[in-house]
């Protein structure tokens, strides 16, 4: 009798975590490594949020919280959705979990039966298909093209929907591409979904606050109110508030679904860390001025990286609307050789040889379901990004 569960054979490890760990190990061994593989803001958590956590400790807010979250946070979440997205949710329609990933997993675990399909847009965040598999569902992929900004087109969405489709996961702005849907682009997709009343929408809006220029963020239930009752709108404080390690995600949706997720979470982890929840209250209800500062810095970094990568021989890098990633194509470099004679046969070869030759860690696009590309995070300083891009230019120029 096998000891480990069969389901593990259907799940791949996270490529982003693997590459980040590899970069850490090389750095610890003395190698000069620049890691552009991690999806984490380099800014500190704003002071008023940190102080709220400290105050919570000093008030002895250290007991078990309710499974779905403390009341002040659920109230703050409902206010946030009204203020930022024009969505009316009661606190009882909200839930708090240990990060956005936990929200997604609980929703899938609470709803998927064997044979149920979940539509996932390629390129995708690496965890989506693995979570679907762990929860007993079947991932179905909808393809995008770089020429269309890595955005799902209505005809492609229509092609992949079947009577077995239970969910579609929509991530805007996207990890890994940074692509974000305008109101008209989102409306074109929701128009399709209106014709499929059994399909539910699971949004990943974690990068909501990180859009650039005049781009206006929208979320599906906001664009099409008729989808309100079959949409779970997920968000969190990790990216827009530089609170990745606090591990707080949240969502709002139909009460029947929220209660089912509460049931799952109650037997799984119970409530998220109490101190972190009080800090999240301060994040959602306190000053928001840091967001403009984050945006300004990230936009400048985006423009720097896009410009420098497009000057690298053989790379083609579109300009994304949001998040803090770029997703350049290295298609022109497939088949080239390194100075050591290694043939670059795949995008994974490209990022591996880049790390070995120049000490720059990126993640291969095939890990996100679409290559030959690579994901580069620009969530670090201008100085570091300039040096990393110079190294990438040098590496690309060395290939023959």
The answer, yes or no, to whether residue 15 has pLDDT greater than 80, is: no
The answer, yes or no, to whether residue 112 has pLDDT greater than 80, is: yes
Apex 207 CA angle, 153 and 17, nearest 5: 95
**What phi and psi values does residue 251 have, to the nearest 5 degrees?**
-155, 165
Q: In the chain, how many H helices and how many E strands?
A: 13, 12
> Could you tell me the two tokens for 396?
């690309």
Mean per-residue pLDDT, 237-255: 98
* DSSP secondary structure code for residue 325 in this structure: E
* DSSP secondary structure code for residue 119 in this structure: E
Yes or no: say if 336 and 400 are a contact pair by the CB < 8 Å rule. Answer: yes
Tens-place pLDDT, residues 319-332: 999 999 999 999 99
The structure's pTM equals 0.95
* DSSP secondary structure code for residue 272 in this structure: P
Sheet holding 117-122, edge to edge: 94-97, 249-252, 231-236, 200-204, 165-171, 117-122, 138-143
Mean per-residue pLDDT, 300-322: 98
Q: Is 63 left (phi over 0), alpha (psi -120 to 50) or beta?
A: beta
Mean per-residue pLDDT, 361-371: 96
Give the pLDDT score at 10. 76
Tens-place pLDDT, residues 81-90: 999 999 999 9
Number of Cβ within 10 Å of residue 5's Cβ equals: 10
Mean per-residue pLDDT, 11-23: 77
Cα–Cα distance between 11 and 366 in angstroms, integer?
Answer: 15
Number of Cβ within 10 Å of residue 158's Cβ equals: 14
Of all residues in the chain, what percent carry a pLDDT higher than 70?
100
The answer, yes or no, to whether residue 195 has pLDDT greater than 90, is: yes
CATH class of the domain at 60-285? alpha beta
Report CA dihedral (227, 229, 231, 233) to the nearest 10 degrees. Answer: 110
Domain borders along the chain are 6-44+290-398, 60-285
Q: CA separation (Å) from 159 to 200, 289, 371?
A: 16, 43, 21
pLDDT confidence of 342, banded at 50, 70, 90?
A: very high
Yes or no: say if 129 and 156 are a contact pair by the CB < 8 Å rule. Answer: no
Strand, helix or coil for residue 156 = helix
The answer, yes or no, to whether residue 24 has pLDDT greater than 90, is: no
Radius of gyration (C-alpha) of the chain in whole angstroms: 21
Give the pLDDT score at 118. 98
The answer, yes or no, to whether residue 12 has pLDDT greater than 80, is: no
Mean per-residue pLDDT, 234-260: 98
CA 386 to chain centre: 24
Does the domain made of 6-44+290-398 have the CATH classification 1.10.3720.10? no
Tens-place pLDDT, residues 121-176: 999 999 999 999 999 999 999 999 999 999 999 999 999 999 999 999 999 999 99
**Strand blocks (E) in 237-352:** 249-252, 325-326
Give the pLDDT score at 244. 97
Cα–Cα distance between 293 and 298 in angstroms, integer?
Answer: 9
Element (H, E) at 363: strand 363-364
Buried b (16+ CB within 10 A) or exposed e, 315-335: bebbebbbbbbbbbbbeebbe
The answer, yes or no, to whether residue 388 has pLDDT greater than 80, is: yes
Yes or no: say if 393 and 305 are a contact pair by the CB < 8 Å rule. Answer: no
The answer, yes or no, to whether residue 180 has pLDDT greater than 90, is: yes
The answer, yes or no, to whether residue 385 has pLDDT greater than 90, is: yes
Q: Is 26 left (phi over 0), alpha (psi -120 to 50) or beta?
A: alpha
Cα–Cα distance between 95 and 240 in angstroms, integer?
Answer: 19
Cα–Cα distance between 261 and 105 in angstroms, integer?
Answer: 9
Q: CA separation (Å) from 128 to 16, 105, 123, 133, 339?
A: 13, 9, 11, 9, 37
Average pLDDT, the chain: 96
In sequence order, what are the residues at sequence separation of 6 or more whose Cβ sits closer than 8 angstroms to the Cβ of residue 14? 126, 127, 130
pLDDT confidence of 25, banded at 50, 70, 90?
A: confident
The answer, yes or no, to whether residue 187 has pLDDT greater than 80, is: yes
Distance between the two ends of the chain, CA-based, in angstroms?
51
Mean per-residue pLDDT, 329-343: 97
pLDDT confidence of 27, banded at 50, 70, 90?
A: confident
* DSSP secondary structure code for residue 213 in this structure: T
The answer, yes or no, to whether residue 17 has pLDDT greater than 80, is: no
Give the pLDDT score at 148. 97
Cα–Cα distance between 220 and 363 in angstroms, integer?
Answer: 29
Give the pLDDT score at 296. 98
């Amino acid at each position: 009798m096998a000891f480990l569960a069969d389901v593990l054979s259907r799940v791949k490890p996270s490529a982003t975590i693997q590459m980040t760990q590899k970069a850490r190990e090389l750095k610890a061994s003395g190698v000069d490594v620049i890691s552009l593989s991690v999806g984490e803001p380099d800014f500190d958590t704003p002071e008023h949020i940190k102080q709220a956590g400290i105050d919570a400790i000093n008030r002895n807010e250290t007991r078990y919280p309710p499974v779905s979250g403390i009341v002040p946070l659920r109230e703050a979440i409902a206010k946030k959705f009204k203020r930022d997205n024009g969505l009316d949710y009661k606190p009882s329609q909200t839930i708090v979990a240990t990060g956005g990933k936990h929200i997604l997993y609980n929703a899938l675990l609470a709803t998927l039966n064997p044979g149920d399909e979940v539509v996932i847009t390629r390129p995708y965040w690496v965890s989506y298909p693995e979570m679907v598999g762990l929860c007993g569902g079947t991932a179905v992929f909808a393809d995008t093209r770089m020429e269309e900004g890595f955005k799902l087109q209505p005809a492609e969405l229509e092609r992949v929907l079947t009577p077995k489709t239970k969910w579609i996961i929509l991530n805007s702005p996207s990890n890994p591409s940074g692509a974000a849907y305008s109101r008209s682009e989102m409306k074109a997709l929701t128009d399709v979904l209106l014709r499929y009343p059994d399909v539910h929408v699971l949004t990943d809006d974690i990068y909501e606050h990180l859009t650039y220029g005049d781009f206006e963020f929208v979320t599906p239930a906001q664009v099409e109110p008729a989808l309100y009752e079959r949409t779970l709108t997920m968000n969190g404080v990790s990216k827009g508030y530089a609170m990745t390690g606090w591990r707080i995600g949240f969502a709002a949706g139909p009460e029947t679904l929220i209660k089912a997720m509460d049931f799952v979470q109650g037997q799984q982890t119970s409530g998220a860390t109490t101190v972190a929840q009080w800090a999240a209250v301060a994040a959602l209800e306190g000053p928001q001025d840091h967001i403009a500062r984050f945006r300004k810095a990230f936009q400048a970094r985006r423009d720097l990286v896009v410009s420098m990568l497009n000057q690298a021989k053989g790379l083609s890098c579109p300009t994304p609307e949001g998040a803090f990633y770029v997703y350049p194509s290295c298609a022109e470099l497939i088949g080239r050789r390194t100075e050591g004679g290694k043939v670059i046969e795949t995008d994974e070869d490209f990022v591996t040889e880049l790390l070995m030759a120049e000490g720059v860690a990126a993640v291969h696009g095939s890990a996100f379901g679409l290559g030959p590309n690579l994901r580069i995070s620009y969530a670090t300083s201008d100085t570091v990004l300039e040096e990393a891009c110079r190294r990438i230019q040098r590496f690309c120029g060395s290939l023959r």
